[in-house]
Amino acid sequence: EADIYQTPRYLVIGTGKKITLECSQTMGHDKMYWYQQDPGMELHLIHYSYGVNSTEKGDLSSESTVSRIRTEHFPLTLESARPSHTSQYLCASFGLHFYFGPGTRLTVT
């Protein structure tokens, strides 16, 4: 069964805070992705990885960083949250196709 998890599901945080959005998958997929999506809008690729110790910036890095120390884990970190970071963040892995996590809805006040 395909499982990809994201925590937290909802987060409200003040400006300037450092936050880490967690993403884990149990399928052993090498390729993992972070997307940002505002309500009713398109997906924007933030970062992606095609294996341990490999990460690439997408079209919208949004002042965030990622790490890939283990195959199953791909966390996204915002060093200093800003109101412009308010959005839905979707993590995905790719095997035969994309599997998306449930998302983290982030609000920065």
Partner 1 sequence: QKEVEQNSGPLSVPEGAIASLNCTYSDRGSQSFFWYRQYSGKSPELIMSIYSNGDKEDGRFTAQLNKASQYVSLLIRDSQPSDSATYLCAVTGGYNFNKFYFGSGTKLNVKP
Binding site for partner 1 (CB under 8 A): 31, 33, 35, 39-43, 45, 48, 50, 56, 90, 94, 96-98, 100-103
Least Å distance, CB 44 to partner 1, is: 9
Burial 63-86 (b: 16+ CB within 10 A, else e): ebebbbeebbebbbebeebeeebe
Cα–Cα distance, 2 to 93 (Å, whole number): 10
- Pick 78 or 91: Cβ nearer partner 1: 91
- Pick 56 or 63: Cβ nearer partner 1: 56
Q: What is the CB-side half-sphere exposure of residue 63 using CA atoms within 13 A?
A: 12
Tokens 């990885």 locate to 49
Least Å distance, CB 15 to partner 1, is: 25
- Pick 14 or 39: Cβ nearer partner 1: 39
